[in-house]
Structure 1
Amino acid sequence: MKDLLFILIVLFMNPLQSQDLLIPTFLEKWENSKTYLVDIAEAMPAEKYDFKPTERQKGFQDQLLHIKSNMDWLSSTYFGRQLSDKNRGNNSKLTKEETIKLLIDGFDGVSAILKKIPSNVLSEKVEFFAGEKSKLQILNLLQDHVTHHRGQLIVYLNLNNIAPPKYVGW
C-alpha cells in the first residue's frame, strides 16, 4: 500500500511523468479494441456482410469501413499520419477478408503514428468541426467512435442469431 501511495504522489507531483503514460496506455487499449472488433468482423458470415437492420442504417461491412475511414481521417488530419493509396478509394466491392485487412491496417496505422509522437503533443489545441479541441480529445474520439459503432455491430450479430465474441477490455 505504501508503494502505491508513493507512486501516486510522484505522478501527481510530476505531470510530465504521468503524461508519458497516456500514449502507452491508449495503445494497450487500442490493441485490445482492434482484437475485439476483428473478432466481431470474423463472427459475421461473408454472406451477411451487407446486412442492415433497417433501410436507413449502414450495412455491417459499411460500418466496418466507416470505422476505418474515421481512423484514417483523424490520424492523418490531427497526428500527421501519411496514408498510402491502398487506404483511399472505392471499397464497395471488398471481400470479408479484404475488409478485415483494411480494418487491421487502420488500427495499425494509428498505432504506428502514435508511437512516434511525444506525449506533450496531446495538449496541443486543434480546430475541429465541433470547436477547438486538444489532441488528447481527438485521441479519445478515435476510441469512442470505434466503441460506438462496435456496439451497433454487436446488435447486428445478435439480430442474426450470432453470439458476439467475448468482450476484450483493458
Structure 2
Amino acid sequence: MSQAHSQDQTIPTFLEKWQNSKAYLLEVAEAMPLEQYDYKPTSREMTFVAQLLHIQQNMEWLGETYFNTPKREPITDTDLKVQTITNLSNAFDMVSEAIKNTPPEDLNTKVAFFAGEKSKLQILNLLQDHVTHHRGQLIVYLNLNHIEPPSYRGW
C-alpha cells in the first residue's frame, strides 16, 4: 500500500473511532447520577466531573493549538450534568470538524509540543489516547459506585 493511500485512510478511520469514542464517553457520563459527579475514590484523584472537564479541556487545547479549531465559550446550565455532557459533546464535534477539514498530507507536519517535536498524526493519536485513559478511570468510578458501565466498544 502506498504512503499516500495510507494517509487517505487515516482521517476517515480516526473520525469513525472518534465518533464511537464520543458516544461511549457520553454514555459513561450519563451513567453516573448527578449526585455522584463529585465522587473521587482517593484524595489524590480527580472527581468524576473534574475528569470529564479535563478530557474536554484537553480536546479544546489540542484542537485549537494544532488544528485551528475556533475557541468556543462553554455552555452554562443550571444542571451540572447537562452542562458537562453538552460541553463534552461540543468538544468532540469541534475536533471532528477540524479533522474533516485537515488535508491528509498535513498530518505529516511537525509541530512544537511540550514533549518534543511531534507530527500532527501523533497529536491525533494523543487526542484518542487521552480520552481512552481517562474514560478507563471513569469506568472504575462507576464500578466503585455499583453502577454498571456501558458496554465496551473499541472500533
Same fold (TM over 0.5): yes
Alignment of 1:21-60 (within 5 A): 21-60=9-48
Structure 1: distance between partners of 2:121 and 2:73: 27
Give the aligned partner of residue 157 of structure 1: 142
Give the TM-score taking structure 1 as reference length: 0.87
Q: Which runs of 5+ in 1 are unaligned?
A: 1-11
TM-aligned CA deviation for residue 94 of structure 1: 5.8
Q: 1:167 pairs with 142, 152, 155, which one?
A: 152
Structure 2: distance between partners of 1:77 and 1:124: 13
Q: Which deviations, in whole Å up to 9, do the C-alpha atoms of 1:27-55 show, x marking residues without a partner? A: 00000000000000000000000000011
Q: 1:79 pairs with 67, 75, 93, which one?
A: 67
Q: Which deviations, in whole Å up to 9, do the C-alpha atoms of 1:125-167 show, x marking residues without a partner? A: 0010000100000000000000000000000000000011101
Q: Which runs of 5+ in 2 are unaligned?
A: none
Give the aligned partner of residue 124 of structure 1: 109
Structure 1: distance between partners of 2:6 and 2:129: 22
Structure 2: distance between partners of 1:110 and 1:28: 12
TM-aligned CA deviation for residue 75 of structure 1: 0.6
Conserved? CA contact 1:122–1:135, under 8 Å: yes
TM-aligned CA deviation for residue 85 of structure 1: 2.4
- Paired residues, number: 154
Are residue 142 (structure 1) and residue 127 (structure 2) matched?
Answer: yes
Secondary structure at 2:43's aligned position in 1? coil
Q: Which runs of 4+ in 1 moved over 4 A?
A: none
Q: Summarize the Cα distance change of 1:94–1:72 in structure 2 as closer, same or farther, 3 Å threshold.
A: farther
TM-aligned CA deviation for residue 86 of structure 1: 2.8
Secondary structure at 1:21's aligned position in 2? helix
Structure 1: distance between partners of 2:154 and 2:117: 30
Q: Summarize the Cα distance change of 1:54–1:128 in structure 2 as closer, same or farther, 3 Å threshold.
A: same
Computed over aligned residues only, the root mean square deviation of the Cα atoms, in angstroms, reads 1.3
Give the aligned partner of residue 100 of structure 1: 85
Aligned-partner residue type, residue 158 of structure 1: N
